[in-house]
Structure 1
Amino acid sequence: MEEFDSILSLGTRLKVKHFMLLAALGDSGRVLRAAEILNMTQPAATRLLQEIEDTFEARLFERSRRGVAPTEAGEALITRSKIILHDLTAAKDELSLLSSHPGGIVSVGAFAVATPVLLPLALIETRSRFQNILVIVQEGSNDSLLPALSRGEIDCVIGRMTETIPDTLNWHTLYFEPVRVVCGPQNQMLNDPNILIEDVAGHPWIMPHRAHPFRQQLEARFTVSGLAKPKVILESESLFLNASLLQQTDALALMPLTAAEHLASLGSIGLLDLEFGTTEAPVGIFRREGVEATRPLSSFLEALENTAKQVYGTYNVKNFHED
């Protein structure tokens, strides 16, 4: 009840226009420009800002001749304001779509590791079990998707665990996946069942960035075997770009097993009979911390978990509802 009383108290003093002003000030850094964006006078914008600071009993911006700069409290409130405004817009859009999709809407971000196998199968299961749910998929990298998730622009992100997880997000592991050495479908080494690590040492490699776990493990394996580090000609985590380059060069690369098997079944790449004992970093779900899943999102996550169990085996899957 105390929480509701606090919200009601804020609700009597703060309106949507207050949050719009904070967002505009965060983007523009000038009261005059923020006022122009919101189609109001500068004195009106100044008065609104004062109302916000009085409500929260905190100084949110430092004033100077060059404009306004948010304090630490201001930065926090700008971020929250943008989330509130986005959620209001999303609610309006969702209501307009409910007539054709009464099951609701789920917005999903996906790293490349999830797109060849896991996500398509999960979408098929979602469609078969929850027919009225609309799933909107946005593919990208952690640099673009995780900030969008933190801002509330998408509901969840499927991908590989990153080195650091922002405080605004939480993580649920779905599975761990082995990695295989792959090459172009024309590579002569595909005919050799007895390939040794020495046989691949002189080839050019397509690798992820230097800090990536399985690149470090591969380089360590080369070092232990008395070999020079792999010659890297490209740093890339794009499965389809890498596959295209492998088709046209003698380069080698590492790929998650299911993605590699999928591309090999299409004739795009070949899998070398050489294992490093390297495991991919965990694959799973990023979600906003402290935000309860909607019914459509819970349904999609249920289908995603079932798919992961079917594809990767129950021994290799962590039930994220138990976290």
Structure 2
Amino acid sequence: MIAKQSRIVDRALTRLKLRQLRLLVAVGSHGNIQNAARELGISQPAATKMIQDLEIDFEVKLFTRTNRGVVPTVFGDTLIRHGKLIFAQVSSAAQELDDLNEGNSGRVIVGTLLAASTKLLPAAITTVLRERPKVAIKISEGTNEVLMPALLSGEIDLVVGRLPSHRHRNKLLQEKLFEDRVIAVVGNDHPLAHAKSLPFERIKPFGWILPPLETTLRRQVDQFFISQHQYSPPFAIESVSYLANRALLQSSDWIGLMPAEVIQQDVENGYLSVLDWDVPFGQSPIGLTYRSDNSLSPAGHAFKDALHRAVKDR
């Protein structure tokens, strides 16, 4: 087994070409060798030969033919995933060289979830730009289901927000920054805005703004609703847009679930009210997730350090 692995590694280091990886990624994207070959400007027979050579070198079958084209095998999926990561690293290196050439002193791409976007992230950005004013920073917002695959493929350098509880944890490094809790919020004119010690029974008649189905918080919400005699809200919407959620809460009788860190400033400024109801779910660690220390550029390490400092100054 060790001899076979050594043989495959040697072939990969001496014979694998970026052009072959580009073809694999293109075939995986198109599900069709002909379209992938056209994208790379080569003939279909040449593309087929390149794939066959790869299968011989790695001693595995990379694609399965179907009536609609080709589908990657588990081996093909693995090689495509690593190919994407290689190209992302090459692109990152080229971008970093270009930034240095232009005097920008590096670049960092940060994925963020709602829980980190209002205070923690701006504080870290301010620190980085104060100390490294020429660093280029790009922020990408989304859910873990969107951001984690982008992090794994190298499109994002690190993700800041609620730490994923199950998926992706074995492939990535996580650092907890602090614990956050979820609170129920409403508009100031909501009938329950000023009520005290609310039982869940008084909350039931109202509609809810809920997190998306694929999130950990939504699973916790659904489990709680089930425990409340299979409670189903009279109406509900799914949204991760904070601006839209705030506008809905201010103009109607909806109830929203928000991380305390996110909503604090709007509550203090009098834009929204917190329901006097102890939300029995939703407490979770807020932190940062990244591939490895070696995957971070100097700018990425600076951003990571700034996040830790921002937590201490909270």
Determine the C-alpha separation between the residues in 2 that align with 1:123 and 1:91.
22
Q: CA distance change for structure 1 residues 66 and 200 in 2, over 3 Å: closer, same or farther? A: closer
Q: CA distance change for structure 1 residues 215 and 13 in 2, over 3 Å: closer, same or farther? A: same
Determine the C-alpha separation between the residues in 2 that align with 1:288 and 1:18.
25
Contact 1:175/1:284 (8 A) holds in 2: yes
Which sits farther off after the overlay, 265-274 or 113-122?
265-274
- Do structure 1's residue 215 and structure 2's residue 217 form an aligned pair? no
* Residue 229 of structure 1: how far off its partner (Å): 6.3
Aligned pair partner of 1:253 in 256, 278, 281? 256
* Residue 185 of structure 1: how far off its partner (Å): 2.4
Residue number in structure 1 paired with 2:23:
21
Which sits farther off after the overlay, 35-44 or 183-192?
183-192
Contact 1:101/1:134 (8 A) holds in 2: no
* Residue 66 of structure 1: how far off its partner (Å): 5.0
Determine the C-alpha separation between the residues in 2 that align with 1:301 and 1:101.
22
Q: Which runs of 5+ in 2 are unaligned?
A: none
Q: CA distance change for structure 1 residues 180 and 63 in 2, over 3 Å: closer, same or farther? A: closer
Alignment of 1:63-212 (within 5 A): 63=65, 67-166=69-168, 167-187=170-190, 189-192=192-195, 194-197=196-199, 198-209=201-212, 212=218
Q: CA distance change for structure 1 residues 67 and 228 in 2, over 3 Å: closer, same or farther? A: closer
CA deviation map 1:232-265 (0-9, x unaligned):
5223343322211111112222221121111224
* Residue 101 of structure 1: how far off its partner (Å): 4.5
Which sits farther off after the overlay, 23-32 or 113-122?
23-32
Paired AA for residue 29 in structure 1? G
Residue number in structure 2 paired with 1:54:
56
CA deviation map 1:179-202 (0-9, x unaligned):
22211023354445x343254343
Determine the C-alpha separation between the residues in 1 that align with 2:35 and 2:210.
45
Determine the C-alpha separation between the residues in 2 that align with 1:177 and 1:257.
7
Q: CA distance change for structure 1 residues 292 and 91 in 2, over 3 Å: closer, same or farther? A: closer
Paired AA for residue 58 in structure 1? V
* Residue 217 of structure 1: how far off its partner (Å): 7.3
Q: CA RMSD in A?
A: 3.1
3-state SS of the aligned residue for 1:98? Answer: helix
3-state SS of the aligned residue for 1:46? Answer: helix
* Residue 154 of structure 1: how far off its partner (Å): 0.6
Residue number in structure 2 paired with 1:317:
none
3-state SS of the aligned residue for 1:176? Answer: strand
Paired AA for residue 120 in structure 1? P
Q: CA distance change for structure 1 residues 221 and 120 in 2, over 3 Å: closer, same or farther? A: farther
3-state SS of the aligned residue for 2:256? Answer: strand
Determine the C-alpha separation between the residues in 2 that align with 1:143 and 1:137.
16
Determine the C-alpha separation between the residues in 1 that align with 2:192 and 2:30.
57
Contact 2:8/2:57 (8 A) holds in 1: no
* Residue 207 of structure 1: how far off its partner (Å): 2.7
In the superposition, the TM-score normalised over structure 2's length comes to 0.84
CA deviation map 1:88-147 (0-9, x unaligned):
122222211223454311101111221112111111122123333221101112232122
Q: Percent identity?
A: 31
CA deviation map 1:143-190 (0-9, x unaligned):
321221121111111121334222433332221112222110233544
Contact 2:157/2:295 (8 A) holds in 1: no
3-state SS of the aligned residue for 2:313? Answer: helix
3-state SS of the aligned residue for 1:175? Answer: strand
Residue number in structure 2 paired with 1:243:
246
Q: Which runs of 5+ in 1 are unaligned?
A: 312-323
Contact 1:213/1:281 (8 A) holds in 2: no
In the superposition, the TM-score normalised over structure 1's length comes to 0.81
* Residue 213 of structure 1: how far off its partner (Å): 5.6
Residue number in structure 2 paired with 1:319:
none
3-state SS of the aligned residue for 1:174? Answer: strand
Aligned pair partner of 2:274 in 271, 274, 277? 271
Q: CA distance change for structure 1 residues 65 and 56 in 2, over 3 Å: closer, same or farther? A: same
Q: CA distance change for structure 1 residues 127 and 35 in 2, over 3 Å: closer, same or farther? A: same
Determine the C-alpha separation between the residues in 2 that align with 1:8 and 1:131.
43
Paired AA for residue 181 in structure 1? A
Paired AA for residue 141 in structure 1? T
